[in-house]
């Protein structure tokens, strides 16, 4: 069950290390903190890890039972196109999340939270490295004219605002975002990796188990600080309130849902054996898991509000509050809850429908925008992202922009083929790698 | 009781494990379990196991494969923390948990599993013995400080 460890050819390895120096300058601190916070763990390795115990035959879809592809050319052309798009998007998310985390990493209040976030970032760097390995260790020419070097160049040139998925284009406002992101957005990552574990392209399937093992810790790095924060909030001595956490959830939840793709789609991936669940099915499981997470956090909150009562009595009180009753000063609104799935949506089936956090519908756009703004973190409300959404929401509601155009609109134009900031003429991947 | 499912532990099991521990020890110790569970998830999330019935954790067993401790160089599967809800005992949950854990240890290349039991924990000692564990040729020693 040991993984095979691979290193990228030097130009690509160097490009990623170069990218790290610009985008993840705190990376060297990981080595300083490792012995204190992860004393018995294997040292971090910037490498690709390939699982060895992967089935040889396609597990789902039209080609079930046939040998898995070992090269892109062995897949149907459309399947290879889908796969390449998925790998590039995933690579973008891995590098993108590091850029987001880096912005507020230093604001962690606890040394342990800092060390955990640092490790999460390093492992995301490794996951990005893994995706680059997939792009550069196979011949993708049957489905793209773009060379491997140019694909890597494009990915490394992306910044917060020009990534493929919206969740990776939002700036963090505080360390609360580092933690909520890990609990909500990394959880989508877990679902994607789990679905892709059965991929009909064996090198991709074999990349998933090592990433999934690391992702498990990323989720803990989100949930455990949240548990401590709700407990502190219940005691009244926390710096982070339940209301602040709730607003952060409102910021991220819709973007997480949209990472699954349009609710009505995903069957093609199943047909080609690239994933084992269609989009809505996976999204439903994700939402159920988030509800369980919030139940756990709320239970801890209620338990801390009533430290003198027994577990059974705390359970009874929690059940009553959850049912809508105010119990000894604890109101239903004090608890964390998911907004309606249609709230603040920009892609997918409910895109730009005017549905509020509790499922209420709006007929006029300005009250709806005011409602959304009131439910988002204050710092985020001032962002270009929110302004862009509000502008589009108005245009869609007034019939000034087709829905499809609004769905495809991003707050900033993608900057493709950008150069390394330390010398404008230098590419991340040196030219020799293109051969 | 509904069907019991054994599966790898994850970060959403913390409160459930605290609940089982509280029923056994009478103490609510979330910080203790957060620390322990983070450790095992970080190191090998497929190793530690929970028993789940009707969506609730009714048992857990935490452990991992390590080598080189106490001069025992061979990879060893260490069974370190476990508990079963008192209301769910006598249903074979402990046996199923340890079988899942030992299965994982074998898959990770361990040929031996080890644990330690306090002398006064006669029930635990009986359970461990029933699972095929025998006294090992090592001695647990201590010195009060």
Task: Answer yes or no: are the C-beta atoms of B77 and B59 closer than 8 Å.
Answer: no
Tokens 């590091």 map to which residue? A98
- Across the interface, of A38, A41, A220, the residue whose CB is closest to B11 is A220
Contact A311 B44 (CB under 8 A): no
With left for phi above 0 and alpha for psi between -120 and 50, is residue A348 left, alpha or beta?
left
Q: Specify the DSSP element, H or E, that contains B81.
A: strand B76-84
What residues of B are in contact with residue A217 (Cβ under 8 Å)? 38, 41-42, 45
Least confident of A132-146, A409-423, B81-95: A409-423
- Write the residue in A220, A300, A303 that is nearest to B38 by C-beta: A220
B67 and chain A in contact, CB less than 8 A: no
Alpha helices in A137-263 (DSSP H): 148-157, 175-196, 202-235, 242-258
Residues 6+ apart with CB under 8 A from A230: A242, A245, A297, A298, A300, A301, A304, A336
Q: pLDDT per residue over A4-20, tens digit each?
A: 999 999 999 999 999 99
- Model confidence at B116: pLDDT above 50: yes
Query: What is the rounded average pLDDT of the residues A185-204?
Result: 98
> What residue in A sits closest to B14 (Cα-Cα)?
A296
Query: Which chain A positions have a beta carbon within 8 Å of B49's beta carbon?
Result: none
> Is pLDDT above 90 for B70?
no
Q: What is the DSSP letter of B78?
A: E
When pLDDT is averaged across residues A382-409 and rounded to a whole number, the result is: 96
Residues of A in contact with B37 (CB under 8 A): 220
For residues A424-429, average pLDDT: 66
Q: Is the pLDDT of residue A426 over 70?
A: no
| A283-308: average pLDDT | 96
| B12 contacts chain A (CB < 8 A) | yes
Query: Which residues in chain A have their CB less than 8 angstroms from residue B31's CB?
Result: 228
Cβ proximity of B86 and B23 under 8 Å:
yes
| pLDDT at site A12 | 97
pLDDT band (50, 70, 90) for residue A433: very low
Residue A1 to residue B107, Cβ atoms within 8 A: yes
Considering CB atoms only, which of B11, B23, B108 is closest to A224? B11
| Rg of chain A over all Cα atoms, to the nearest angstrom | 22
* Whole-number Cα distances in Å, A13 to A17, A209, B135: 6, 22, 51
Selected residue with higher pLDDT from B67 and B96? B96
Least Cα separation, residue A296 to chain B (angstroms): 6
The mean pLDDT of A76-97, rounded to a whole number, is: 96
Of B30, B31, B41, Cβ closest to residue A217? B41
pLDDT digits (tens, 9 = 90+) for A232-254: 999 998 899 999 999 999 999 99
Give the whole-angstrom CA distance, residue A182 versus residue A62. 35
Q: Which of A213, A289, A311 is nearest residue B45 as measured by Cβ atoms?
A: A213
Domains of chain A by residue range: 4-297+419-434
Which pair of tokens denotes residue A93?
């998310």
Name the residue ranges covered by the structural domains of chain B: 4-130
Q: Do B41 and A220 touch (CB under 8 A)?
A: yes
Percent of chain A with pLDDT over 70: 95
Per-residue pLDDT at A424: 53
Strand B49-53, strand B56-66: pairing = antiparallel
Query: What is the number of CB-based contacts under 8 A between chain A and chain B?
Result: 58
| Distance between A427 CA and the closest CA of chain B, angstroms | 36
**pLDDT at site A431:** 54
* B80 at A interface, C-beta within 8 A: no
CA distance A24 to A103: 9
Instruction: Find the CB nearest B28 among A1, A292, A303.
Output: A303
List CB contacts (< 8 A) between B43 and chain A.
Answer: 40-41
- Residue to substitute from A224, A231, A293, interface B, most B β-carbons within 10 A: A224
Q: Is the pLDDT of residue A415 over 60?
A: no
* Alpha-carbon distance A293 to nearest alpha carbon in chain B (angstroms): 6
Report pTM: 0.95
* Gap between the Cα atoms of A230 and A241, Å rounded: 7
Note whether B118 contacts A: Cβ–Cβ < 8 A: no
Q: Which residue of A has its CA nearest to B19?
A: A311
- Contact residues on chain B for A38, CB-CB shorter than 8 A: 42
A227, A290, A304: which to substitute to probe chain B, counting the most B Cβ within 10 Å? A227
Q: Does B34 touch chain A (CB under 8 A)?
A: yes
Q: Is the pLDDT of residue A334 over 50?
A: yes
Residue bearing tokens 């773009």? A146
- Cα distances from A11 to residues A15, A418, A430, in angstroms, run 6, 17, 6
Instruction: Take residue A149 and report the two structure tokens written for it.
Output: 């070097």
Quote the pLDDT of residue A28: 97
What does the alpha-carbon distance between residue B26 and residue B5 come to, in Å, rounded to a whole number? Answer: 25
Interchain CB distance below 8 Å, A220 and B30: no
- Which chain A residues are closer than 8 Å to B41 by Cβ? 216-217, 220
What local confidence, expressed as pLDDT, does residue B38 receive?
A: 97
* A414 pLDDT tier (thresholds 50, 70, 90): very low
Cβ distance A217 to B10 less than 8 Å, yes or no, reads: no
CATH code reported for the domain at B4-130: 3.40.630.30
Q: pLDDT band at residue A435, thresholds of 50, 70 and 90?
A: very low
| CATH class, range A4-297+419-434 | mainly alpha
Angle at B17 between CA A177 and CA B96, to 5 degrees: 125
Confidence of residue A224 (pLDDT cuts 50, 70, 90): very high
Q: Do B11 and A292 touch (CB under 8 A)?
A: no
Q: Which of B7, B10, B12, B66 to mutate to test the interface with A (most CBs of A within 10 A)?
A: B12
Interface residue of A211, A223, A301 to substitute, partner B, most B CBs within 10 Å = A223
Over residues A388-396, mean pLDDT: 97
> What's the rounded mean pLDDT across residues A181-187?
98
A412 has pLDDT over 70: no
If one compares B137 and A266, the residue with the highest pLDDT of the two is: A266
Nearest-CB residue to B11 (from A40, A219, A228)? A219
B30 and A CB contact within 8 Å: yes
């Amino acid at each position: 069950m040991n993984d095979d460890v691979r290193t990228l050819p030097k130009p690509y390895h160097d490009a990623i290390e170069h990218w790290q120096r610009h985008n993840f300058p705190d990376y060297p601190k990981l080595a300083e903190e490792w012995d204190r916070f992860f004393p018995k763990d294997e040292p971090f390795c910037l490498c690709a890890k390939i699982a060895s115990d992967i089935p040889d035959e396609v597990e789902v879809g039209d080609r079930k039972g046939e040998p898995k592809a070992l090269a892109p050319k062995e897949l149907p052309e459309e399947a290879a196109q889908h796969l390449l798009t998925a790998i590039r998007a995933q690579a973008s998310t891995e590098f993108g999340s590091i850029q987001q985390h880096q912005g507020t990493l230093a604001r962690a209040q606890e040394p342990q939270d800092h060390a955990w976030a640092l490790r999460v970032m390093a492992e995301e760097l490794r996951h990005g490295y893994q995706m680059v390995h997939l792009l550069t260790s196979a011949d993708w020419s049957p489905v793209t004219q773009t060379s491997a070097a140019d694909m890597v160049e494009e990915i490394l040139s992306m910044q917060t605002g020009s990534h493929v998925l919206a969740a990776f284009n939002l700036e963090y406002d505080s360390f609360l975002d580092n933690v909520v992101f890990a609990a909500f957005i990394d959880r989508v990552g877990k679902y994607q990796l789990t679905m892709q574990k059965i991929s009909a392209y064996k090198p991709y399937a074999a990349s998933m188990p090592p990433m999934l093992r690391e992702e498990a810790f990323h989720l803990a790095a989100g949930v455990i600080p949240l548990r401590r924060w709700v407990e502190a909030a219940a005691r009244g001595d926390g710096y982070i309130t339940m209301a602040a956490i709730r607003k952060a959830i409102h910021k991220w939840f819709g973007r997480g849902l949209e990472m699954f793709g349009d609710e009505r789609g995903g069957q093609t991936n199943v047909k080609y054996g690239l994933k084992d669940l269609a989009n809505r099915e996976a999204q439903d499981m994700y939402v159920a898991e988030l509800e369980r997470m919030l139940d756990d956090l709320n239970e801890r909150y209620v338990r801390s509000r009533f430290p003198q009562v027994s577990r059974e009595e705390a359970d009874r009180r929690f059940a009553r509050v959850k049912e809508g009753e105010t119990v000894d000063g604890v109101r239903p609104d004090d608890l964390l809850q998911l907004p309606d799935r249609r709230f603040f949506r920009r892609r997918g089936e409910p895109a730009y429908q005017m549905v509020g956090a509790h499922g209420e519908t709006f007929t006029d756009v300005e009250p709806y925008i005011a409602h959304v703004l009131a439910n988002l973190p204050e710092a985020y409300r001032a962002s270009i992202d929110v302004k862009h959404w509000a502008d589009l929401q108005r245009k869609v509601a007034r019939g000034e922009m087709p829905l499809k155009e609004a769905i495809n609109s991003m707050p900033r134009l993608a900057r493709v083929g950008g150069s390394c900031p330390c010398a404008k003429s230098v590419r991340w991947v040196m030219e020799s790698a293109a051969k | 009781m509904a069907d019991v499912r054994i599966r790898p532990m994850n970060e959403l099991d913390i409160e459930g494990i605290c609940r089982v521990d509280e029923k056994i020890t009478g103490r609510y110790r979330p910080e203790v379990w957060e620390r322990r569970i983070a450790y095992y998830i970080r190191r090998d999330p497929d190793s530690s196991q929970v028993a789940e019935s009707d969506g609730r954790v009714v048992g857990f067993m935490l452990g991992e494969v390590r080598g080189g401790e106490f001069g025992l160089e061979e990879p060893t599967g260490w069974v370190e923390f476990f508990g079963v809800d008192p209301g769910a005992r006598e249903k074979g949950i402990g046996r199923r948990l340890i079988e899942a854990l030992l299965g994982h240890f074998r898959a990770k290349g361990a040929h031996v599993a080890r644990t330690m039991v306090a002398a006064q924990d006669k029930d635990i000692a009986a359970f461990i013995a029933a699972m095929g564990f025998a006294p090992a040729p090592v001695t647990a020693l201590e010195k009060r400080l």
